[in-house]
Amino acid sequence: MKKEKVDILIIGAGPSGSVAAAYLFNAGFKVKVVEKNKFPRFVIGESLIPRCMDHFEAVGLLDCLKKKKFEVKTGARFLQGPKVCEFDFSKKHTKGWDWTWQVPRAEFDKTLTDELLSRGVDIEFEKEVLAVDFKEDRSVTTIMDEEGNSSEIEAKFIIDSSGFGRVLPRLLDLEKPSEIPKHSSIFTHVKDVRRPEGWEGHRITFDIVSQETWLWVIPFSNGYTSIGYVGPTEYLESFEGPTEEKLRQMMKLSDHYHDRFAGLSYEFEPKMIKNIAKSVKQLYGKGYVLTGNSAEFLDPVFSSGVTFATESAHLSAKLIAKELKGEEVDWETEYSQYMLEGVDVFSTYVKEWYTGNLQKIFFNDSENPVIKEQICSVLAGYVWDKTNPFVKNHHRLVKAVAHFTDLEKENASLS
């Protein structure tokens, strides 16, 4: 059996694995990335938020992405019947990037790995992790190629960036139920031949058809658009027929978008992911760390997935570099507590979205620009900025403002 030794083994070559690999390779470590799939491959997570731009820039991956001219995303629009709430990332509380991209992930992720390969990073595709054996100061990972041949990789540290593959959570029994309500998604791509001229044809939109059910519309610069519904699992399953028939029935629920996409061919049979939210018992252990969706995934409503993936990858890579250089690292404080603080903030917003409290604030007739800027910072991914009251006091502030909104409406109806 073929055997090799590396400093760091990274499982998964998506944005999380790519950011971690870039940082550690730049720092002079021997890095190996193994990826189960052959790139390009389809994956969801097509709407980014500005915070992830900091990470791509920090590890030198921003320029290769800019050259691809992906659709620029400067904010997000939410619709609820005739009501409109639009966020502009340039009008937010926290200083930082005021734009990002809407991307077909197949091309986006391959751009990252192509850049890493051109620099000399060792990436092997179509390699599946079968087992991991942790020893005193190293690990031995058994992988298998597409022809069934097995080999072993000895590493000082493992980063699990396997996303929804969730390799180490599965092998080490780290899975635990998420506290986020059980929602599922159904989605596809279409050639957007009726795309309106101007900004209307390019803006990302979330069309709210009920308190817990919404449609995403994510236009790409290549003329295609991603469309998909998210809602309670039981509700999505109540639509009859194969996934294409289900999605076509659901598209009729959108007064705003039904005509634009009616009758268009779907680029692939719509995919359905059930019970999207995922969680784990711990984010790290001796000789390994979980990043991105292999650790926590909340809900697609605020597009936080890629940013948590790159945030955790960049931070874990820096801590691994310190540890392998002989410096002391407090993984609980420096990694787990830090990441879970951000997850906790976004979890509040996801939960309060589905309770309806956040929707009350978004679609309130009297808009408070200061509150909107503070919430916009959260939606841009700056969820560790405690100068923002909607970060520092997230547990109670969303509820409080929603309650005040209700009181305003009651007073208005009595006057």
Is the pLDDT at 296 greater than 70? The verdict is no
Residues 233 and 329 both lie in one domain: no
- Region 72-90: mean pLDDT is 97
- Average the pLDDT over each of 93-102, 116-125, 168-177, 218-227 and give the range with the smallest value: 168-177
Residues 291 and 209 both lie in one domain: no
Query: How many residues belong to the chain?
Result: 415
Residues 155 and 32 both lie in one domain: yes
Look at residue 82 and tell me if it is in a domain. Answer: no
> Residue 116 belongs to a domain with what CATH number?
3.50.50.60
Residues 401 and 293 both lie in one domain: no
Domain stop point among 244, 273, 302: 273
Instruction: For residue range 353-383, list pLDDT tens digits in order.
Output: 999 999 999 999 888 999 999 999 999 999 9
Segments forming the whole domain that contains residue 125: 2-72+97-177+277-342
Decide if 28 contacts 320 (C-beta within 8 A): no
- 413 torsion bin: left (phi>0), alpha (psi -120 to 50), beta (else): alpha
Residues 188 and 167 both lie in one domain: no
Decide if 382 contacts 353 (C-beta within 8 A): no
Look at residue 252 and tell me if it is in a domain. Answer: yes
Is the pLDDT at 263 greater than 90? The verdict is yes
What's the chain's average pLDDT? 94
Domain stop point among 235, 255, 273: 273
Domain stop point among 242, 273, 304: 273
Output the DSSP codes for 394-414: HHHHHHHHHHHHHHHHHHHHH
Q: Residue 406: its pLDDT value, please?
A: 87
Instruction: For residue range 1-55, list pLDDT tens digits in order.
Output: 899 999 999 999 999 999 999 999 999 999 999 999 999 999 989 999 999 999 9
- Region 310-320: mean pLDDT is 98
Q: Residue 292: its pLDDT value, please?
A: 86
Q: Residue 217: its pLDDT value, please?
A: 98
Residues 282 and 269 both lie in one domain: no
Residues 365 and 257 both lie in one domain: no
Q: Residue 289: its pLDDT value, please?
A: 97
Of residues 33 and 415, more confidence is placed in 33
| Counted domains in the chain | 3
Of residues 55 and 293, more confidence is placed in 55
Q: Residue 161: its pLDDT value, please?
A: 96
Look at residue 84 and tell me if it is in a domain. Answer: no
Is the pLDDT at 413 greater than 80? The verdict is no
Is the pLDDT at 272 greater than 90? The verdict is yes
Look up residue 79 and give its two tokens.
């619709």
Q: Residue 294: its pLDDT value, please?
A: 63
> Residue for token digits 């399953």?
237
Look at residue 90 and tell me if it is in a domain. Answer: no
Look at residue 23 and tell me if it is in a domain. Answer: yes
Residues 286 and 168 both lie in one domain: yes
- Region 383-393: mean pLDDT is 97
pTM: 0.95
Omega before residue 270 within 30° of 0, cis:
no
Residues 27 and 151 both lie in one domain: yes
Instruction: For residue range 218-227, list pLDDT tens digits in order.
Output: 999 999 999 9
Look at residue 87 and tell me if it is in a domain. Answer: no
Is the pLDDT at 179 greater than 80? The verdict is no
Q: Residue 222: its pLDDT value, please?
A: 97
At 415, is the pLDDT very low, low, confident or very high (cuts 50, 70, 90)? Answer: low
Residues 164 and 118 both lie in one domain: yes
Q: Which amino acid makes up residue 186?
A: I
Look at residue 246 and tell me if it is in a domain. Answer: yes
Residues 227 and 372 both lie in one domain: no
Residues 167 and 290 both lie in one domain: yes
Look at residue 305 and tell me if it is in a domain. Answer: yes
